[in-house]
Copies of this chain bind each other. A is one copy, B any other.
Amino acid sequence: MARVVVDVMLKPEILDPQGQAVQRALPRLGFDGISDVRQGKRFELEIDGPVDDAALDRVRKLAETFLANTVIEDFTVKVES
């Protein structure tokens, strides 16, 4: 059993109100020197069997069709060691 991580983030050109809310709150909370915050989603998938190219292709297809809205979001698929 292996873990594959799918990170889904809004595309850079899409406004991110959640990230902006965090960023604006930081100086008030005493944290300076952070110029931008983007907030996204992280999915940890436990895969049965070997994580070969076919399995990763399936996860990529799954991310593209179901986990991410590719009109406004980018995703990355990584195997976690």
Contact of A33 among B25, B31, B33, B55 (CB under 8 A): B55
Cα-based distance from A61 to B41 in the complex (angstroms): 21
Chain A residues bordering chain B, tally (CB within 8 A): 34
Cα-based distance from A6 to B65 in the complex (angstroms): 26
Of A9, A29, A39, A65, chain B has the most CB atoms within 10 Å of the CB of A39
The interface bits of chain A over 44-76 (1 if a CB of B lies within 8 angstroms of the residue's CB, else 0) are 111111000001001001100111000000000
Contact call A41/B44, Cβ cutoff below 8 A: no
Which residues of A does B touch, CB under 8 Å?
1, 7-9, 19, 22, 25-26, 29, 31, 33-49, 55, 58, 61-62, 65-67
